[in-house]
Amino acid sequence: MESSPLSWDEFLASSKELLCISQRLNDGWNWSDTQDGWGYLHKTELKSSSGNESADDVTAEQPGKTILVWEYHILYSPAYSCPVLYFNVRDQDGKFIGLDSTIGQLRFPAKTGRNYLSVVSQSEHPILRKPFCYLHPCHTSDLIIAAEKGRTNLLIGWLSCVAPIVRLELSLEYAKPNET
Amino acid sequence: MSENLRFLPYEAVVDASFWYTLCQIKLDVDRLSEAERPLTAATMDPAGLTAFVDYSSFNTSDAKTGKIGSSDRTQLQKLCHGNEHKIPVSIMSGFLLNFNSLEAFKNSNKNELLESYGQRIRDAVRNGDAIDDPLKLNNFCVITFADLKNYNFVFWFGFPALGNYTFPLVGQPVLLSDAFSEGEIKSLLDTHSSLKRSGNEFFCAVANGSTLECRPLRYFIDNFEKGAEKLYLCAIDGSTDDFLPGWPCRNLLALVAEHRKTDASVKVIFVRLGRHFKTSFVAELKIEGNRDDFKVVGWSRNARGMFGPRSVSLRDSIDPLKLAESSVDLNLKLMKWRLMPSLDLDVIRNHKVLLVGAGTLGCSVARGLMGWGVRHITFIDSGHVSYSNPVRQSLYGFADCGSCSEGPKLKAEAAPNALRAILPCVTSSGVAMTVPMPGHTTEGVKEAAQLHRLIEEHDTVFLLTDSRESRWLPTVIATSMNKLAITAALGYDTYLVIRHGVKSNDSAENKLGCYFCNDVTAPGNSKRDRTLDQQCTVTRPGVSNMAAAIAVELLVSILQHSDRGACKADDETLLGTVPHSVRGFLFQFSHVLPSTPAFSQCIACSPKVIDQYENNRDEFLDKVFNSAIYLEELTGLAELHKASQIADILELSDDESIEEADE
């Protein structure tokens, strides 16, 4: 099993650590157990769809400013032995905005080019059995193996790599050694 | 007249999980009850003035309080700092009224409803409860109608505000940072932690020259008229718009209006959190209006900006039927997204397929087509499900074979039922009829007309019956309409899949042969290439699955070619080559891909036959059904047949397995 990028137990331990930091920072990560002994991390965030986050100087009645609900789930994939990021973007009424609009909301690294679908696509959420978007886990294990095992929290290391794509803000505090 | 202070209304944001939970509660708990349900909404989100409801909004048993001041990290001085405000830090209680019908939703008296919730606020304002518990100053209501069949939700949020006052501004509002020194602001934020948590969103501040010191709201109400110039009413404000305070502040000012004993102006500090802290501002205002009037406002606007309900359809994410459909599509799209961006799935999805025969081949072909997303499949079969069928015919089970009390099911009924059981959104039907065959019956003209109509209604016809004769009429009709037909035929351990030629627009192009041209003129690739159907019921079980799978994949390859059925043999598409025919030999586990042009004397697709079918149909069919010989005479095949029989015998004579061929 030494070639496995991240075992379930390691995922659990890393998640616990992440939750601990999150609780301290109050940035909204939660854990849900499933009935059959698995579980996942999740977080919900509201974002304005304009995407222009520094636009503080806009006038009071900004036309077309809409709120989108971003839901992030981090699941463990036994097949890939690594975490997988599932997410959905819904409108103010709770309706999924569609894959194309979702892709329009993402921030891809320049080298992805227009080949978005090699990074993100849609699938059934393995636990909730609802359609979710997700980031392909194909390259996750490379990423995790590349990180030095034991020294850092691999889950957090991985998340910090993929978070910018899905506009998930991750405080620098996550990178600090555990204070407890 | 000076300008009135205006308030930014709440935006209700509903998470999909709110609707899932509402469905569950309606079905399992509330049923027909329309009783009010308590709810909570998360507010003071970093994104702006929103009221967010999700699945957890229904759980009001644990007393929920806002997060401001709950830990070191959420003290006001921290939250007002750059990036520290990350999650909604306040909670508002509210009420859900879910109506049983859209009529009841529409007919409910919205004004009375909002007034009844406004009345609760007004009571807390009048009797002073809200002074010590400012959370009582605001609530919300949401009325809904949940159409659980279609997963449509109609809803309307109301945020009641006491509307009998106006607040004319005295001078222009100024930014907090312009009105006070850094030291004053720091002391305001630092002393906030001394407040009781339940009342720390609305409070007051006393200016002492160099500092601003936080006090409970009660202090403001009690001391307002004594030293108004030094007292500031303070509100933590979820709005993010410049100089436009959030909706909840309106009821705070109504509370002041109710209890004031002078009409002096009120100075209000609106404190904003996180990166919006720099938009915090100070306004001075008068209060006008009669405290005995009662007017409640606060229904929210819909997407068109009108006062009215919103609606949302969540069929795509809740309805299991929709989920099944979209998951199948998703699987196929993954192929498109990841491997073949130009794969045309719509042409497959919209293709209507007629399967003549619902036996081993028909069942497997239907399943293969469903796998590719074909949604319109019709079966023709006259047979019933027999006890030997289910093990090889994948759409049937033992129950379809009948019992003592009930006869066996028609395949034309059982097969479409099975498809719908697999994927409810599939459009499938069956026609129990015998395909008229040359030389078999004299009463085939009516069936021929029905078959004609069926082929006309579909895009491709698969010929999957177990006899050579039964493929003849469908071949003639498909050729006449220039529609694609694909034949699959089985031997003991061999199979043939062939696409019948379709005329291209370029009429000079010689089209490919049909099953019958090919059969007669079959090149001598192997001794096993000879007529396969004569032994078809005795086959290795895998053969039908293989032939069916190849037939389906052949269709899909053809559909990816711009010429569709008229594409030349061995043309390439993004899925690879499109052969004319595939002959498989299980004995060697091998395939050959022969192609042959149409045969000018073919008994099914030659111009003479088609001409008779088109122009002299009834008489022609009548003659054919009475005697198959007629066809051979018509096409001049009789001569040729004799010759080919001689060739067969010559070929077989030096082979050792003649007995097998007789089976």
Rounded-to-integer distance, Cα B500 and Cα B598, Å: 9
Residue with tokens 């949604």: B375
Indicate the residue type of B89.
V
pLDDT tens for chain A, 180 residues long, are: 445 778 999 999 999 999 999 988 888 999 999 988 999 999 999 998 654 433 333 333 444 568 999 999 999 998 888 899 999 999 999 999 988 889 888 988 877 667 777 788 888 899 988 889 999 887 777 677 666 555 678 899 889 888 999 999 888 888 876 554
Which of the pair, B369 or A145, is modelled with greater confidence? Answer: B369
Q: How many CB atoms lie within 10 A of CB B2?
A: 10
DSSP SS3 for B217: helix
Cβ atoms of B628 and B469 within 8 Å: the answer is yes
Query: In B508-558, which ranges are E strands?
Result: none
Closest CA to B52 of B91, B85, B104: B91
Residue B570's region, left for phi above 0, alpha for psi from -120 to 50, else beta, is left
CB B329 within 8 A of CB B336: no
Q: Which two tokens stand for residue B543?
A: 């053969």
Tokens 């379809």 sit on residue: B400
Tokens of A100: 């194309």
Give residue B325's pLDDT.
83
pLDDT in the model for residue A149: 56
CB B495 within 8 A of CB B537: no
Q: Which residues pair with B166 in a beta bridge?
A: B288
Among A23, A54, A57, A93, most B C-beta atoms within 10 A, so best to mutate, is A93
Q: What is the mean pLDDT of residues B563-592?
A: 94
Give me the percent of chain B exceeding a pLDDT of 90.
65
> Can you give the residue range of the structural domain that contains A103?
8-49+65-170
CA–CA distance, A133 with A167 (Å, rounded to integer): 14
pLDDT at B228: 55
With beta carbons less than 8 A apart as the criterion, state whether B288 and B168 touch. yes
Q: Searching chain B, which residue's CA lies closest to the CA of residue A93?
A: B14
- Out of 3.40.1190.20, 1.10.287.3510, 3.40.50.720, 3.40.640.10, which CATH number does the structure's domain B324-662 have? 3.40.50.720
Q: Which residues of A touch B341 (CB under 8 A)?
A: 117
Whether ipTM exceeds 0.90: no
Give pLDDT, residue B266: 93
| Dihedral angle over CA of B252, B255, B256, B259, nearest 10 | -170
Residue from the list A26, A60, A124 with its beta carbon closest to the beta carbon of B242 = A60
B12 contact A CB<8A: yes
Q: What is the DSSP letter of B304?
A: T
Longest dimension (CA), chain A: 58
CA distances from B529 to A29, B538, B583, B592 (A): 66, 17, 7, 10
| Gap between the Cα atoms of B114 and B141, Å rounded | 8
pLDDT in tens, B16-70: 999 999 998 998 888 888 999 999 999 999 989 999 999 999 988 766 678 888 8
Residue B508: the pLDDT is 63
Go through A82-104 and write b for each residue having 16 or more CB atoms within 10 A of its CB, e for each that does not.
bbbbbbbbbbbbbbbbebeebbe
Task: Please state, in angstroms and rounded to a whole number, the distance separating the CA atoms of residues A57 and B278.
Answer: 11
Count: domains in chain A = 1
User: Where residue A145 sits, what CATH number does that domain have?
Assistant: 3.30.1460.50
Closest CA relative to residue B150, chosen from B300, B310, B347, B316: B316
A79: nearest Cα among A133, A143, A8, A157:
A8
Residue B562 has pLDDT above 90, yes or no: yes
Name the residue facing A92 among B11, B71, B333 (closest C-beta): B11
Show residues of chain A in contact with B242, CB under 8 Å: 57, 59-60
pLDDT band of residue B651 (cuts 50, 70, 90) is very low
Burial of A64 (0-12, 13-18, 19+ CB in 10 A): exposed
For tokens 């004594």, the residue is: B226
Q: Which residues of B538-558 are buried (b: 16+ CB within 10 A; e: fewer)?
A: ebeeebbbbbbbbbbbbbbbb
Euclidean distance between CA atoms B276 and B517, whole angstroms: 80
CA-CA distances (angstroms) from residue A105 to A85, A100, A116, B232, B312?
16, 9, 12, 42, 21
Going by C-beta distance under 8 Å and a sequence separation of 6 or more, which residues neighbour residue B619? Answer: none
Residues 54-113 of A with CB under 8 A from B: 56-57, 59-62, 67, 69, 71, 88, 90, 92-96
Is B35 in a helix, a strand, or coil? coil
State what percent of residues in chain B have pLDDT above 70: 91
CATH of B1-314, one of 3.30.2290.10, 3.40.140.70, 3.10.110.10, 3.40.190.10: 3.40.140.70
* Choice among A2-6, A173-177, B321-325, B545-549 with the minimum mean pLDDT: A2-6
Question: What's the gap between Cα B403 and its chain centre?
Answer: 40
Which tens digit of pLDDT belongs to each residue from B139-179? 999 999 999 888 899 999 999 999 999 999 999 999 999 99
What residues have CB less than 8 Å from A63, skipping those under 6 apart? none
B267, with CB counted inside 10 A (0-12, 13-18, 19+), is buried
Domain with CATH 3.40.140.70 in chain B: 1-314
CB contact under 8 A, A93 and B278: no
B1 pLDDT tier (thresholds 50, 70, 90): low
The answer to whether the CB atoms of B73 and A122 lie below 8 A apart is: no
Q: Which of A27, A67, A124 sits opposite B13 (nearest CB)?
A: A67
In a domain? residue A176:
no
| Active-site amino acid positions of B | 536
Cβ pair B330:A131 closer than 8 A = yes
- Predicted local confidence at residue B532, as pLDDT: 47
Buried/exposed code over B344-365 (b: 16+ C-beta within 10 A; e: otherwise): ebeebeebebbbbbbbbbbbbb
Distance between CA atoms of B466 and B359, rounded to whole angstroms?
9
Comparing B320-324, B386-390, B437-441, B589-593, the range with the smallest average pLDDT is B437-441
Q: Is residue A57 part of a domain?
A: no
**Cα A122 from Cα B366, distance rounded (Å):** 26
Average pLDDT along chain B: 88
Interchain proximity B330–A123, CB inside 8 Å: yes
Q: Which of B258, B248, B204, B203 shows the shortest CA–CA distance to B228? A: B204
- pLDDT (0 to 100) of residue A166: 93
Predicted confidence at residue A56, as pLDDT, reads 34
d(CA B226, CA B228): 6
> What are B87-135's pLDDT values in tens digits?
899 999 999 999 999 999 999 999 999 999 999 999 999 999 999 999 9
Nearest CA in chain B to A118: B338
The pLDDT value given to residue B519: 59
Taking CB atoms and an 8 Å cutoff, what residues of chain B touch A93? 14, 153, 310-312
- Provide the 3-class DSSP secondary structure of residue B571: strand
Closest residue to A60, CB basis, from B14, B15, B241: B241
Give B-chain residues touching A88 at CB under 8 angstroms: 16
Sheet holding B266-271, edge to edge: B174-175, B281-285, B266-271, B231-236, B202-207, B212-216
Nearest to A40 by CA among A11, A61, A66, A67: A11
Report whether B502 contacts B393 (CB < 8 A): no
The pLDDT of residue B312 is above 70:
yes
What's the pTM value of the predicted model, to 2 decimals?
Answer: 0.77
A-B C-beta contacts closer than 8 Å: 106
- B167 touches B303 (CB < 8 A): no
> Which of B15, B278, B279 has the CB atom closest to A69's CB atom?
B15
